Amino acid sequence: MARVDTGNAPQLDRAVAEYLSGFPGDLICARQIWYEGLGGQGVAKPEDVAAIEAAIGSVPGWKREGDVRYEKFGTQNSYKRVRGGV
């Protein structure tokens, strides 16, 4: 995937929504999207992470879960897929 400009909110929102629509898991963090979904390289800047988190928050079916520890990314703000009929 081509690198997405996190400063371009409409483009970022579309890219994050598209990535999440095909994401098989139920738990995700901004850094995972940065590397796997947006083609980010190196360390994501705090403003990149904040923009991605805002984009995740705008996608229906995902809610803030709290801090979760990831093997690759350490402890991160995380989002959980909301399943209907709970």
Residue 14, H or E segment: helix 9-22
* pLDDT tens sequence across 55-75: 999 999 999 999 999 999 999
Domain assignments of the chain as residue spans, ordered by start: 9-81
Find tokens 């904040």 and name the residue. 50
What's the rounded Cα separation, in Å, for the pair 6 and 69? 24
Q: What is the pTM of this model?
A: 0.90
Distance of CA 29 to the CA centre of its chain: 5
Q: Report the alpha-carbon distance of residue 48 to residue 42 in Å, rounded.
A: 12
User: Residue 2 has what pLDDT?
Assistant: 59
Q: Is the pLDDT of residue 18 over 70?
A: yes
